[in-house]
Structure 1
Amino acid sequence: MKFLKRTLLLLSVILIIAVIYNYPKLNILAGYSAKNTASSVYLGERTLEFTDTTDNNFSPVNLATDKVDPSLKSASSSAFGLLTRKAIYREGLGAVLTLNREDETATYLKPVRLKPDNTTAFPYGNAEQKDTVFENVNYDKVTNAVNNIFGKNDNSRAVVVVYKDQIIAEKYANGFTKDSRILGWSMTKSIMSTVYGILQHQNKIDIQDKAPIDSWQKDARKDITIHNLLQMNSGLEWDENYDEISDATKMLFLERDMTKMQEEKPFAGKPNATWNYSSGTSNLLSKILRKQFNTHQEYLDFWYTNFIDKIGMNSMIVETDLAGNYVASSYAWATARDWAKFGLLYLKNGNWNGEELFTKDWVDYATTPTPTSNGIYGAQFWLNTNGGYKDVPKNMYYADGYQGQRVYILPDEELVVVRFGLSGFQENKFLSEIISAVK
């Protein structure tokens, strides 16, 4: 009997130690699942069952138990019954993880949106485009290229191919349509960068200025410029790792104000000499944007009234953290067609239907390789300067998101290609097939 009691006591101690050791991991696991569920159900308008069998169906997130409460527009996720996280949906702001009960009943400012144009044809409005047939386009070849990445291994959800303002190919997986909002993940970084481009064009900001971060003014970090941050080349320490507890996962699933973590980091290198991909940097840039406006409401509105809604991306929602900052690292949702409009804005060098939001100078800036990035990164855009996609022009550039979310911009070919999915795919082959079909 004594042996049994001692054994049970030992097992209890081991279990307690295991729980304490893994508690932070459980917190992030449940946090990811709750946030993703709330966004998928209320923003993406998918069912809980669909979300659990697709978006949340990977290890270890699939170990969480998810529930939704449509009456409260909330989602909760339990990690083995040991820890539960909750996320709420706020109209106009998307879903957010709560940290206490007060967060569930707090009032929040929301952005003022422009009215959608549902009578003008795509891309300048949301109505269906007029049929246009290009003699130089091999439509069968384009269609085959698109179909080929909807196989079992590629797991694509949406593809839109736009040539000279016309959709020449479009396909959606079961459960998705042209009206489905899809998360762009890190493509949100490129959205945020564009807000800087518009402010720069309006002479309201100078990206060569020192970053206006008060806490840096008494140490060497005071010399970091906005330009350094846009190029992910500040020299600041950051751990961008999603396989374990890291700066990135703690920021997204444990922080009220997601702009603070990068601000508090020390140097790990030197500005303009140490490229390091950092979602924390993108959220810090969101904070700097907020400081450009007199009120929080102006900050919330500007992204839409001067950019997103102005080019008809009316489906887009950029989610905010609990502190009211746009989560510029990760959380923009929109239809595939609206993401294509974003690519077209760059293809048109910032001129949208006769109105200049920015100029080619900004496009040139955004696509200039960051020092020490080996030619793969610009100002929150990814580049093909080093020929990583060997059968694709080197001046192709793109917005890039987790699991292969992409908006490719091909200036020479007058093409924008959008792809969404749940896994990677053969990008070089796919793009080269599209290009070869447009002669």
Structure 2
Amino acid sequence: MKKIVLTLSIAFALACCSNDDGSTTPEAMYFPAVSGDSWETKTPAELGWNESQIQSLLDFLQLKHSKSFMILVNGKIVMEHYFNGHTSASPWYWASAGKTLTSTAVGIAQQQGLLDINDPVSDYLGQGWTDLTPTQESQITIKHLLTMTSGLDDAANGDCTDPECLVYLAPAGTRWAYDNVYVILQQVVASASGQTWDAYFDANIKNKIGMTGLWSQMDELSVYFSTTRSMARFGLLALNDGKWQNEQVIPQSYLNAATHPSQNINKSYGYLWWINGESSYHLPQSQLEFPGSVIPSGPTDMFMALGKNDQKIYVIPSRKMVVVRMGDAADESNWALSGFDEDLWVKINAVIE
């Protein structure tokens, strides 16, 4: 009897300590040093992946105009590939995947007591930041900009955020529309902190996790450019609940809210993050609701930073995984989501499952 109990105890202990890769020793999350470019690796074979499918994935990525592709597991690099003349030192634009950087800065500023996301935007920018009446404008909160529910006319403003471009269409909170007016949040953070946007971002995000890169004007918007590894660093920060090594960079409760449904109109959208595995979604530039998950073949717990022409950060907590893709549009030019997301996950699944 004692022998049976001992055997069961050992089996239970091993099961409790089992990792996703089948090993029985718990593996702590790895973080590359803040300075320098060294980064520990792990092989697909160590994870038990289907190595025979890797070349098919890489061929697909090259065919689809990719410049780089990375997979991290537990923080370590498992795949890192560059295409079409791109290198590990080459910067590329995040496009709207960088919206998540802006969302993150807002959450940090709130934690610091500099702002409250339920406050009207006009509390920080003053009256007249839009072309709305004072009453209409006062109804738009920071949270409305974070959730794409400002009620401003997205078709009228395009990439313009001058007051005359920001016109009324619907009451704040009643309509979801993918809109670049979110960039106003950078002005809010700058005003609340008394710093330039760049200085605040560098001190509170970039320098804390060892990112490189800079903000630059592109199509009238402030867009982030960086290397692929810097993009992966940010994905790793999000994967680890906003904590980098021993420092809580992003408030955990805020990041949790940011990566879960933020309103009832588009259930697949948080605070400038896309969310997989929900019951319905809206596409950018559309008021139609579609049933099902954004990426049916993708993990149901995945949340995503998605940018124009297929800039991607996929964060998958259940697999302790981050996937990054940079490049030109895989097929046709797109705003953030495209058929490439589904096709790519079919290829990834063939490798990792």
TM-score computed with the length of structure 1 as normaliser: 0.62
Partner of 1:287: 187
Partner of 2:342: 428
Alignment of 1:290-305 (within 5 A): 290-296=190-196, 299-305=197-203
1:360–1:294: structure 2 CA closer, same or farther, 3 Å change rule? closer
Alignment of 1:9-24 (within 5 A): none
Alignment of 1:63-212 (within 5 A): 122=32, 124-133=34-43, 135-138=46-49, 140=51, 143-144=54-55, 146-152=57-63, 154-211=64-121, 212=123
Displacement of 1:436 = 5.4
Deviation readout 1:158-182 (Å, 9 max, x if unpaired): 1011111111111111311111101
8 Å CA contact 1:413, 1:435 repeated in 2: no
- Equivalent residue in structure 2 for 1:214, among 118, 126, 130: 126
8 Å CA contact 1:273, 1:372 repeated in 2: no
Higher relative contact order (CA 8 A, sep 6+): 2
- Equivalent residue in structure 2 for 1:269, among 170, 179, 193: 170
- Equivalent residue in structure 2 for 1:355, among 228, 247, 250: 247
Displacement of 1:274 = 0.6
Aligned partner of 2:148: which letter? Answer: M
Displacement of 1:301 = 1.3
Unpaired segments ≥5 residues, structure 1: 1-119, 240-245, 252-258, 322-326
Displacement of 1:131 = 4.3
Give the 3-state SS of the residue equivalent to 2:67 in structure 1: strand
Partner of 2:12: none
8 Å CA contact 2:34, 2:209 repeated in 1: yes
Partner of 2:162: 260
1:358–1:121: structure 2 CA closer, same or farther, 3 Å change rule? closer
Displacement of 1:221 = 1.8
8 Å CA contact 2:92, 2:226 repeated in 1: yes
Q: After alignment, is 345-354 or 387-396 more displaced? A: 387-396
Unpaired segments ≥5 residues, structure 2: 1-29, 280-292, 332-339
8 Å CA contact 1:121, 1:128 repeated in 2: no
Aligned partner of 1:431: which letter? Answer: W
1:125–1:143: structure 2 CA closer, same or farther, 3 Å change rule? farther
Aligned partners of 2:134, 2:256: CA distance in 1, in Å?
Answer: 34
- Equivalent residue in structure 1 for 2:308, among 388, 402, 407: 402
Deviation readout 1:191-250 (Å, 9 max, x if unpaired): 1111111112223221111212422583222021111111010111122xxxxxx6325x
Count of matched residue pairs: 295
1:131–1:214: structure 2 CA closer, same or farther, 3 Å change rule? closer
TM-score computed with the length of structure 2 as normaliser: 0.76
Partner of 2:11: none
8 Å CA contact 1:156, 1:420 repeated in 2: yes
Displacement of 1:348 = 0.6
Deviation readout 1:275-326 (Å, 9 max, x if unpaired): 11111x2221111112113354xx4311101111211102x111259xxxxx
Question: Computing the radius of gyration over CA atoms, which structure comes out larger, 1 or 2?
Answer: 1
